[in-house]
């Protein structure tokens, strides 16, 4: 600490004009995981029910251990690692789909554990776009209606919902498939519907688990270009084994055996 008698000058001696040059503002953190551990219990409820059923010692799986990561506005972070390394678990924690067994996850300065289940659901709906490995599309609805579903929950009017959903489907190359149901679409087309749905609320954070896994090279590159475009003013986290997908990342976090082994520039 600088003593009161030695104030820090606002203007240096090398700046006779008296101009105060400020350093660039650092990107604001969107979500931060601090020393998080996630333990699952196989085959039973990990709490009281497991004990009541006579299985207090059911196998416990430590999917993630003492992991810390910060994701900021304007960056794309890639999660890399073999199957079972903890990538999907970390994504679920960052998205608020699950809470850690230990440690904290903070979304825009709010500790997710202080929120009720309903409040976390609302936060995800308003601020997080998620692309799952399984697409979770509603079979009875058209592609456009599937994309618009989050907007229904947010109370957006029908005309605006249709307009925004159609525009996103066109951006991912499905402008001629807006009225098709999932059963009438290929796996790659269903994946693009899921990506459009994740983007339709204009989220602060986009989470994607193997987003190009079902796509051909050309379509995959189109989707990656879209992720790069939206990352200008939001945070994007991509978990993938695919090199071209990881190549668009600003930095890559490598996991193995549930632990972060490295976190840095490519």
- Paired with 62 in beta bridges are 39
Model pTM?
0.80
Model pLDDT, residue 226: 86
For 8-28, how does the pLDDT look when each residue is reduced to its tens digit (9 = 90+)? 333 344 444 444 444 455 677
User: Is residue 141 one of the residues assigned to a domain?
Assistant: yes
User: Is residue 165 one of the residues assigned to a domain?
Assistant: yes
Model pLDDT, residue 2: 41
Dihedral over Cα of 169, 175, 176, 179: its sign: positive
CA 203 to the chain's CA centroid = 10
CATH number of residue 258's parent domain: 3.40.50.300
254 to each of 18, 25, 131, 175, 259, how far by Cα in Å?
47, 27, 20, 36, 9
The closest of 66, 37, 78, 84 to 263, measured between CA atoms, is 78
For 169-208, how does the pLDDT look when each residue is reduced to its tens digit (9 = 90+)? 999 999 999 999 999 999 889 989 999 999 999 999 999 9
- Computed over every residue of the chain, the mean pLDDT equals 85
User: Is residue 241 one of the residues assigned to a domain?
Assistant: yes
Cβ-based neighbour number of residue 151 at 10 Å:
20
User: Is residue 137 one of the residues assigned to a domain?
Assistant: yes
User: Is residue 46 one of the residues assigned to a domain?
Assistant: no
User: Is residue 247 one of the residues assigned to a domain?
Assistant: yes
The closest of 106, 265, 123 to 201, measured between CA atoms, is 123
Domain around 118: 74-102+110-265
For 106-127, how does the pLDDT look when each residue is reduced to its tens digit (9 = 90+)? 999 999 999 999 999 999 999 9
User: Is residue 14 one of the residues assigned to a domain?
Assistant: no
The number of domains in the chain is 1
């Amino acid at each position: 600490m600088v003593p009161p008698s030695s104030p820090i000058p606002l203007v240096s001696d090398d700046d006779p004009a008296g101009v105060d040059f400020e350093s660039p503002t650092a990107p604001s953190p969107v979500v931060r995981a601090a020393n998080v551990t996630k333990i699952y219990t196989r085959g039973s409820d990990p709490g009281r029910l497991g004990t009541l059923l006579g299985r207090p010692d059911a196998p416990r799986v430590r999917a993630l251990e003492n992991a810390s990561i910060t994701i900021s506005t304007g960056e794309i972070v890639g999660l890399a690692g073999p199957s079972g390394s903890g990538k999907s678990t970390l994504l679920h924690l960052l998205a608020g789909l699950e809470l850690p067994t230990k440690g904290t996850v903070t979304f825009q300065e709010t500790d997710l554990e202080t929120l009720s289940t309903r409040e976390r659901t609302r936060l995800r709906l308003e601020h997080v776009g998620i692309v799952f490995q399984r697409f979770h599309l509603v079979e009875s609805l058209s592609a456009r209606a599937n994309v618009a579903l989050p907007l229904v929950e947010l109370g957006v009017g029908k005309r605006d919902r249709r307009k925004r959903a159609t525009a996103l489907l066109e951006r991912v190359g499905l402008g001629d498939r807006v009225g098709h149901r999932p059963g009438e679409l290929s796996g790659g087309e269903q994946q693009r519907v899921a990506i459009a749905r994740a983007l339709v609320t204009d989220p602060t954070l986009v989470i994607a688990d193997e987003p190009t896994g079902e796509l051909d090279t050309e379509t995959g590159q189109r989707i990656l270009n879209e992720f790069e475009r939206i990352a200008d003013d939001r945070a994007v986290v991509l978990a993938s084994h695919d090199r071209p997908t990881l190549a668009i990342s600003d930095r890559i976090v490598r996991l193995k055996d549930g632990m972060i082994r490295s976190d840095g520039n490519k």
